[in-house]
Structure 1
Amino acid sequence: MADSTDRILDAAYARMLEHGLRRLTVDDVAKQAGLSRITVYRRFSRRSELIQGVILRELRRFLQAFEQAVAPLPTTADRVTEGFAVTLRLVRGHPLLSRLLASEPDMILPHLTLEAGPYVAVARQYLAARLDVPEAEAVAEMFIRVALSFVLIPDSAVPLGSDAEARAYARRHLVPLLPSEGIN
């Protein structure tokens, strides 16, 4: 079952990358995955669930890369600083997200704003578990929302074009928002 789900998500990702969301069909995904339509519908009963499945899988992949980058760092402040830089670099450079934001913003933006609750919840739970601070969930959500706003609205007076600029911003503006007991 997991193998079929991976094949479906791989095919959906490839179709989304090549053709966008507007032209994404379950029939095309099934064909590309080498599975029947009914198999796809058993795993994802609606097209919107298929899109959500792809986004959640990409979020989990992002979180793995994020973990590799920040886990070795000694302090919460260091992890927040590097985590912000890594987030901007990886999310801005993500092939599917970049393609959809450039070509079909009207199709992807609802998934990243009004319908982003499931994704924010996954990221919040992940980040809160790694922040050794009081009110970790609230702090994690604030950091996620700040990063998301810079990703979705890249035109800014804040220079964030490089990792060094993102780290400087995080040290200056995000680290001071940590509860004082958590800046180890």
Structure 2
Amino acid sequence: MELASLLTRAAATAAVDDAADPTRTRILDAALEEAASVGLDRMTVEDVVRRSGLGRMTVYRRFSKRDDLVDALALRECQRFLATVAGGLDDGATPEEATAQAFVAAMSFVRTHPLLRRVAQAEPGAVIAAAAARDRHVFRLGVDFIAARLQAARPEGDARAIRRTADLVARLFLTYVALPPDDPDPRDPAALHAYARDVLAPLIGLGVDGPAG
């Protein structure tokens, strides 16, 4: 499964700063467009060369193999997703508000991302399969990210309870990506925010803090 391989390799790869290499960025942009158009499993380096408008040797000097190109694309898009979610959080927001903000940012990213949108529409099962691949390494990476955010918001919270809650949130998010809901409308940020605040945030608070009394 190409999507599973892409996410797994991204999770295990060190971050790379592409800001100083606009040519690399242009190649990866072309790779993203091509994968969104024909599917990741059908994308070739030659297709990316043609779409980028760059010389063949220019592309191959940076990515001599298709796997190198896929790894780089995976890493960049995963970094973009996490940066988008983190950037959607206001400093000083309550945990409940932060939950709503993170949910809106994550769902908006998936809905507007060309490759993830294609996968969700054409192969919704691939989202779940990708998360479960390779001993669920990618899924655990997501749980780790959520748990760290919850622990920061509730430093006095029980670590095991926080981990369980993060696991629940990750599972819920996967279902929303694979099977977008009718209510709330995934195209309506205000509706997503209200839903996360009224439905998801109380679940998270209960899981972290435990039942009252």
Q: Would you say same fold, with TM above 0.5? A: yes
User: Does the C-alpha gap of structure 1 residues 36 and 147 become closer, same or farther in structure 2, counting only changes over 3 Å?
Assistant: closer
The 3 A distance-change label for structure 1 pair 111 and 73 is: farther
Matching residue's letter, 1:57 = R
State the match for 1:72 in structure 2: 91
Q: Evaluate the alpha carbon distance shift between residue 55 and residue 118 of structure 1 in structure 2; reply closer, same or farther with a 3 A threshold.
A: farther
In 2, Cα distance between the equivalents of 1:22 and 1:163?
32
Matched, 1:115 2:138: no
In structure 1, the residue corresponding to 2:133 is in which secondary structure?
coil
User: Which amino acid is 1:115 matched to?
Assistant: A
SS in structure 2 at match of 1:72: coil
Which structure 2 segments of 5+ residues have no match? Answer: 1-15
Q: What displacement does 1:99 show?
A: 2.8
CA distance in 1, matches of 2:199, 2:171: 14
Percent identity over paired residues:
28
Instruction: Write out aligned runs for 1:86-101 (5 A).
Output: 86-101=105-120
C-alpha distance in 2 between matches for 1:39 and 1:57: 15
Which residue identity is paired with 1:91?
A: V
**TM-fit CA distance, 1:80:** 0.8
SS at match of 1:70: coil
- Secondary structure at the aligned position of 2:63 is classed as helix
Distance of aligned partners of 1:50 and 1:144 in 2 relative to their CA distance in 1, 3 Å threshold: farther
TM normalised by structure 1 equals: 0.71
The change in CA–CA distance for 1:29 and 1:73 in structure 2 (over 3 A counts) is same
1:180 aligns with 2:209: yes
Distance (whole Å) between structure 1 residues aligned to residue 74 and residue 200 of structure 2: 26
Shift of 1:155: 4.5
Matched letter for residue 191 of structure 2: E
Alpha-carbon distance in 2 for matches of 1:141, 1:99: 26
Shift of residue 30, structure 1, vs aligned partner: 5.1
Q: Does 1:168 align with 2:191?
A: no
Q: How many residues align?
A: 174
Q: Is there any run of 5+ residues in structure 1 with no aligned partner, and where?
A: none
RMSD: 3.3
Q: Give me the whole-angstrom Cα distance separating, in 2, the residues matched to 1:6 and 1:107.
A: 30
The one-letter amino acid of 2:95's match is T
Write the distance in 1 (CA, Å) between the matches of 2:125 and 2:49: 21
